[in-house]
Amino acid sequence: MRIPHMICSRETKLKGKTLLPLTPLIIVGVQRCGTTSLAAALGEMDGVAAGPLVPEPRALSTSSQPVSDKSSYLRNLLRDRETSNRFSLEKSVAYFDSGSTPGLVQEVLPDAHIIVMLRDPVERALSHFSYTRGNGLEQLKFADAIRMDLEGEERISKIPTSMNPFSY
């Protein structure tokens, strides 16, 4: 379902305000590759309306969410369309390995610009392990944690997190 009233294709007036076309920017990447840092830096730039700072909103990562939830989320994401803003910004590592995200982005935000971030897989795994270990989430040694992940053993964190802390 396209949301044409959210993303205007030309200058529009709404409640006395001038709204310019707002292009969605979506940052997609693997965990521990810098998506949060990039989003923070871009969000500080003039002309960029940063989305809600909700960790991993997943609004475009599953087809099981009702469209009304996506509409509400996008309405919030694209709420700041003052004349100085040209882009809306949203990021989520949940989009990287979601098979439904490309179709949902095409359906809901066909004019989106997508930034994909990658990182050396070994460096990323070490960084992710250090992060989970340093935050008290991981109790295993690195080799054991990697082995369990590669063997597909599902582990659940005792501490609530926005993403799976054991996906190395």
The average confidence (pLDDT) of the chain is 77
Query: Above 60 in pLDDT, residue 43?
Result: yes
pTM over 0.85: no
Q: What is the DSSP string of 41-106?
A: HHHTSTTEEE----S---TTS-TTS-HHHHHHHHHHHT----TT--EEEEEEGGGTT-TTHHHHHH
pLDDT digits (tens, 9 = 90+) for 64-104: 554 455 556 565 665 544 556 678 888 888 888 888 888 88
Position 47 confidence tier, pLDDT thresholds 50, 70, 90: confident
Burial of 66: CB neighbours in 10 Å, binned 0-12, 13-18, 19+: exposed
